[in-house]
Chains A and B, each alone.
Chain A
Amino acid sequence: AAGVIQSPRHLIKEKRETATLKCYPIPRHDTVYWYQQGPGQDPQFLISFYEKMQSDKGSIPDRFSAQQFSDYHSELNMSSLELGDSALYFCASSLEAASAYNEQFFGPGTRLTVL
């Protein structure tokens, strides 16, 4: 079965540079979530989208922005990168309309290293 695709898998950037992470949800899934996981930490919710509209927002820095496109893929844009942004970034997708609770399927993650 098709899974969530994230690209790139690894990304190395310098401080103050920008980065764009991409997420392709499971086909027919209309909801995308972004999570950030620091070393040895639990995943922290950043932001989510349902039907191309932002549906919830967590502890996402103002330097970060995201959107969901007409084909339901999503991009997380990160500017003025800081050392502390080094982390694993996961995207998860779900089918919002299926039920009150919808299992989220996680992608393999993008490992961002800021030097």
Chain B
Amino acid sequence: GESVGLHLPTLSVQEGDNSIINCAYSNSASDYFIWYKQESGKGPQFIIDIRSNMDKRQGQRVTVLLNKTVKHLSLQIAATQPGDSAVYFCAETPAGGKLIFGQGTELSVKP
């Protein structure tokens, strides 16, 4: 079936470095793409989203890039901090409704 997947299951970075987490999606009909952060034992927490008619969207220390040509989504975290350590999921949703999650990437930030 349709799915959203991630290239890398784990990512280890040094505190202060920039992090890039990648995601490939397969449903070209999806309207929105969202990044979630999940800390151990907690529910997914919204980070940033992007609509399918956009290529880039910036938030506080985070940037999401969408490449519809190759169906690729990425999350960039600037100046990564220890508090950023978590599992990051990309998700897609066709015009609202249920979320289809991809495989998570575990981000580990070394002090």
Chain A, interface size: which category? 20 to 34
A107 sits at the interface (CB 8 A): yes
Query: Is there an interface contact between A58 and B42, defined as CB atoms closer than 8 Å?
Result: no
Q: Which residues of A contact B (CB under 8 A)?
A: 4, 33, 35, 42-45, 48, 55-56, 58, 90, 92, 96, 99-109, 111
| A93-B98 Cα distance, complex, nearest whole Å | 11
Tally of B interface residues using CB under 8 Å = 24
* CB of B96 within 8 Å of the partner chain: yes
| Chain A CB within 10 Å, residue with most, of B43, B96, B104 | B43
Q: In the complex, are the beta carbons of B43 and A42 less than 8 A apart? A: no
Do A100 and B96 form a contact, CB below 8 Å, given A43-B89, A108-B43?
yes
Contacts of A103 in B (CB 8 A): 34, 46, 49
Is B44 an interface residue when CB atoms closer than 8 A count as contact?
yes
Which residues from chain A contact B89 at a C-beta distance below 8 Å? Answer: 42-43
B12 in contact (CB, < 8 A): no
Determine if B96 and A106 form an interchain contact, defined as CB atoms under 8 angstroms apart. Answer: no
CB–CB B46/A101 < 8 A: no
Separation of A92 and B93 alpha carbons in the complex (Å): 14
Q: Using Cβ atoms and an 8 Å threshold, which residues of chain B touch A43?
A: 44, 89, 99, 101
Write the chain A residue with the least CB distance to B3.
Answer: A42
Does B103 touch A at the CB level, under 8 Å?
A: yes
Q: Is the CB of B104 within 8 A of A42?
A: yes
